[in-house]
Structures are given as structure tokens and as C-alpha cells.
Structure 1
Amino acid sequence: MTQPHGEPHGQSDGAGERERTFAALPPARGRAFARTWWGTRWLQALEDTALDGEQLRKGRRFARQGAVGAVTVRPGRITAVVRDRDGTAHRSDVLLQELPDADWERVLEVAARESGHLAALLDGEMPPRLVEDALSVGVELLPGIGDLDPSCGCEAWDHCPHTAALSYQLARLLDEDPFVLLLLRGRTERELLEELGAHTSAGTASAAAEPAGEQDPAGDLGGTRHNVEPRGVLAEEVFARGADLRPLPAEPPPGSAPGGAPSLTGAGTQPASGVDAAALEFLIAETASRAHQLLCAALSPAHAHSDLPEPLTPFQDAVRLAASAPRRRIAERLSAHCGVPPASFGAAVRAWEVGGELGLTVWEESWTPAPETMAWARDQLATAWAEEVDPPGLNIAGSSWNTPDGSAQLRIGPDGSWWPYVAERGVWWPAGGAQTDPAAALAVALRQKEPGRGERD
């Protein structure tokens, strides 16, 4: 038998093994309380029974923090001392009704029909078929709603954090040894195996005494003449026993590059009427590229500690797509879809090209600098030019500074960077990327306004 965390099988009180005590388990941070299907069913009975979900949440925290002391298991009862955060100790008990001898007799009869039941128990497992077979004769081995009866020194009338913590801790013991549950129901491991062996031997002797022509037509099923219909294994049973499944293979590494879009007009194929094949090919390639970026980011070591980015607005996403579109016609369609004039949409696309999402935020002027940020910006402007150079007389307008003739502009970004802009036909266009020096940023804007440069059609 596998013992929980290397602890002794249990301490005897002189009556066989009808009382077992397990040393306090270490904190359960970062792991589930139940990995096996029978441990999960135990917790389901607890959570279906408790009336106050807040008490269960506190109980989980107590159990995770190691507040549950040694757990004693005996027929019909589990007991432990559970400590509050201030160290106050409470004796807590959870009661589960023992099965009467008549019910155990029925369980032993169905268990003796299949040798696999005994083998699974000896291997430290609770076979789902045994539970189903017992239920078919009217015996419930696993607890259900209302079967877990709490009793605690804190005098709570329902499950309190202390009895909840004890129940969560017991799920960890059940994971390692299903005989803990059977002891709660009234049979020690020794008693159960001896009685099961006696039933199996009796069945074998009975089958051997039968005339050859009266043997079980279903064949040898554990040496008995009970007819048991062969059947497969339900998928839900297999997945419930997740600990027994083979580990999944290692995840394949992401491809070095996203896949390309298929050609939708090759081999003489013509797109359907109204379908822009070039735009559709672009969207397919863009989707593959975006998926590849997200996958690489998700597999990076820093992903678990990174905040999720805010989703783009429809306008921002249209601008992003247009910035990478290979044909002007695609950008025109996106502009029309957004209801934005082509010149303004073109300026927004340019902002994305030179600065990504931050560049577009600055272009949209969708942020308001705090007073201390504006004071810092004025200090930067005052000291940006050398002493022998007269600083330009910039006129402030919101978070922007304009040249006297209104042809160039500086904007301050949320990160303290400076962005150069030029006015073209009534629209402010980004003249370049962000600069840390306002003088350098203004120089970029002024160069953009030189004759023969910067005019857009």
C-alpha cells in the first residue's frame, strides 16, 4: 500500500487497525487538494452540503496554510485539531455514517465477482466499477449531499472553517489511500481483504463443484458463476483517474515563422463576385502572423508575470491593419469602414507606423497630462537649447507646443517622450518617432517642412 507522504500506516488502538492517525501534512500551496476521482467526489460532497461558501473558502485557506494538525480516522469519524490564525485551537470532527454489516456483505459479494476490484484495491486505487457495482445493490460507498456531518469546538451549527479545513485535508489522504474511506465506512484494510478473500475462495469452491455443463457461460470471471456482462470503460471514468494516465508528450515548439496565406486566384480560379481576393489573402496572413506572435508570447518565461494588454478599439485595430496592408485599396476600405476621412486616417496610420499603439495614442490626444507632467515638460523646453541659441517661441495648446506660424508642433507622450508633428492641409501628421530631447524632436519636424519634403498628396 502507498502511504501518504511516507507517514506510518496508522497507529493501532489494540483492536486491529480501527483507528489510524496521520501526522499533520505540510501546507498545500500551489496544488489541488484532490487529484483522484474519489478524492474529488469527497470534496464534492463537502461543497454540496455546506450552506455557506465563505466558510469553505476560509477552510481552504486554513488547510493550505497548514493549520490542520494530525488527523485521526476511525469508523464513522475523522478528528483533528485546527488552529485559527491567532493560534486558537479547536477540536473538529466530521462524521460519516458507517455501513451496516448487511450492506458490507453486498459490497463484498459484488467485489468478489471481479478479480480486478481486489487488484485495484491492493494497488491503492478505488475502482470506479466497484463503486458502481455497490450502488447497483443499493450501497453508496462514497458520501453524497448531507452525508458529512460536522462537529466543532467553535460551536458552529454548520460546516465552519475548521471542519471544512479538516475535510479538505482528508481529501489529500484519500488520494493516497482509498482504504481511509473504507475505514470511515466501518471496515479496516485487514478486515476487508480477509473477508473479500473468503468470499472469493467460497465462490471458487462453488464453481469447482458445479458439473461441467453448468459452468458460467460467460467464462471465468474471478472464479464465480455470476453472469457479468463484459463492457468497455467509460471515458469519464478514465479521465476521472487522471493520476493513472500517461503523461502528455512535451509541447511542440512554435514554428520559426507564421504560415503564409494561400493564393486565392491561382490556377485560373476567379473569386466570387464582390470578394476582394487580395484583401482576404492579407487578412489570412495577418491572422496567422498575429497568432504566431501570441503563441510565442504565451510560451515565454515572462508571460506568467505579465499583465494582459488592453484590447484595441475597432478604430485602433483598423489602423494597425492598414499600417501593414500591402495595397492602398485595403487602407481605403478600412478608412471607409471607420467613417474617418482619408487624410485623417492616413495620419493615424502614419502614427502607428512610427510609434505603434503609443504613437496612435499621442496622435489621438487621448490622454491628459497631469499638472506635474506639464511643469516638467516646461522645464525641459526651457533647458533644451544651448545658451547661445535662442529657443523658439512655442505657443502652448493643451499638451502640445506649436511654432508661431502653426506649421510644426511638439506633443508630450504619456511616457515623457516628445513627438514631432507637421501640419499638412489642415491635418497634423507625425513627422517621425519619439525623441527624448524636445529640441531634437522639433528639428525633425522643421526638416519635414523644408521645400520638397513632407507634402503628401
Structure 2
Amino acid sequence: MTEGNTIARSWWGKAWNKNLESYADYANRISRGKSYVRNHAVLDLQIREGSVEALVQGTGSKPYVIEVEIDVLGEKRWRQVVNLCNHRIDSVEKLVEGKFPKELEVIFTEKEYGMFPSPKEIHFSCSCPDYAYMCKHVAAVLYGVGARLDEDPLLFFTLRRVDIQDLIRRSVENRMDAMLKNAAKKSGRAMSETEMHDVFGI
């Protein structure tokens, strides 16, 4: 999942981890999981619609079971994401190819409207006996998500339970609507009938 001490190499994988580290609720706890990821203690990590399931090898003989639930991205928030993508349709289409162009970083990292989940949207449990708010095994899994997004960035849309094809369709529709509205407006540079007659005799 990781190479050397690097947990994520792509800008989107790094952005996922940086986002987690930016929240005060996680600041003193999330770093506890780095060594577990780097030491390949996250044995299995599966990303499904709205959830992550993983096994993490701790100090015991059996790995711990971690479950993470991510709230669904609401329709209002989704519309805001689509609006952020306006005029970036070429970049949006690259998402389907798994390229994740840097121009679309705003749709993930924008604090109020972006797709990255806030702490209140993340719910987790671990089978370990540590009763801390966030144990190191959960922290390792959250970092592990960033590493998995390196390998398959489209999994992020699965995690937030949104359809990337819907994003493309809506972005295209918004762009077409804007083009039609602009086409309907009279240009200030258009010649009047009188000017046409004076210049061209028609």
C-alpha cells in the first residue's frame, strides 16, 4: 500500500491526508497511525459505498477489525460541487480516466462545499481494547484510505456515494445552459439596421 516512508504520492492522496490533519479534533490523534501504515500493519482495506473496512495488525496475535462509515454527500452539497466544476468540463472528463487534474483540487479541498468529509461526517469503530476517541488502528486506516486513493482515485466517489457520470452530465448541462444564455444576449458590438444600411447599403 505504501512505498518507504511515503503514504501517498499523488496530490489527491496527499490532500486527503492533509485534510484529516487540518481538523483540531484529529490533530493530536491522527499521526498515531502513520507508523502502522508505513510498517504495512494495515493488512486489508476495502472501500465500498459509504464505508471502509480493514484489518490492522496490532500487538496482539490477531488483527483488529476497523469499520469506518462516511456520511452520504447530500444533494445540496453535490450541486455545489457541480457548480465548482463549471467551466472545468475538460478537467472533469479526465476524472473518468483516473487522471485527477490539479485544476479540480477545489472540489475536494474547499472546506465548506468540497467533497472531503469533516470529522462529524466520519464514524468509526475498532475491536481493540483502546477506548480513546480515535485509536491508532483507526488512524492507520484513515491514512490508508489516502494510499488507496493513490492507486484508484475514483474510489473516492464510491466512498461518498456519488456518481462521477452524474457530475459530468450536470457539468455539461450547466455549460450548455450558460452558452445558450450568452447566445441569447444581444452583443453590444452588433450593428443596428441603420448602421448596416449606411455601411453596406442594405
CA offset at residue 92 of structure 1? 0.5
CA distance in 2, matches of 1:88, 1:32: 26
Q: Does the residue aligned with 2:85 lie in a helix, a strand or coil?
A: helix
Question: Which of 149, 174, 177 pairs up with 2:152?
Answer: 177
More helix per residue? 2
1:161 aligns with 2:136: yes
Q: 1:152 aligns with which of 122, 126, 137?
A: 126
The alignment covers a number of residue pairs equal to 185
Structure 1 residue 184, shift from structure 2 partner: 1.7
Indicate how the Cα distance of structure 1 residues 122 and 161 shifts in structure 2: closer, same or farther if over 3 A, else same.
same
**Which residue in the other structure is 2:64 paired with?**
90
Q: How far 1:31 sits from its partner (Å)?
A: 3.4
Bigger-Rg structure (1/2): 1
- Separation in 2, partners of 1:216, 1:69: 62
Instruction: Verify: 1:34 aligned to 2:8, yes or no.
Output: yes
Please state whether the residue corresponding to 1:63 is helix, strand or coil.
helix
Question: CA offset at residue 186 of structure 1?
Answer: 1.7
How much is the aligned-residue C-alpha RMSD, in angstroms?
A: 3.4
Q: Which runs of 5+ in 2 are unaligned?
A: 189-202
Cα deviation, residue 62, structure 1: 2.4
Q: State how 1:4-403 maps to structure 2 within 5 Å.
A: 25=1, 28=2, 30-47=4-21, 48=23, 49-50=25-26, 52-53=28-29, 56-57=31-32, 59-132=33-106, 138-144=112-118, 147-155=121-129, 156-187=131-162, 191-193=163-165, 195-203=166-174, 206=177, 209=180, 212=183, 214=185
Give the TM-score, by structure 1 length.
Answer: 0.35
Tell whether the 8 Å contact from 1:39 to 1:171 is kept in structure 2 after alignment: yes
Give yes or no for contact 1:174–1:181 (8 Å, CA) kept in 2: yes
Is the contact made by 1:150 and 1:158 (CA closer than 8 Å) also made in structure 2?
no
| TM-score, reference length from structure 2 | 0.71
Q: Percent identity?
A: 24
Q: In 2, distance between residues paired with 1:106 and 1:216? A: 30
SS of aligned partner of 1:66: coil
Could you tell me how far 1:166 is from its partner in structure 2?
Answer: 1.2
8 A Cα contact 2:126 2:137, kept in partner: yes
CA 1:137–1:207: 2 relative to 1, 3 Å: farther
**1:118–1:90 Cα change, 3 Å:** same
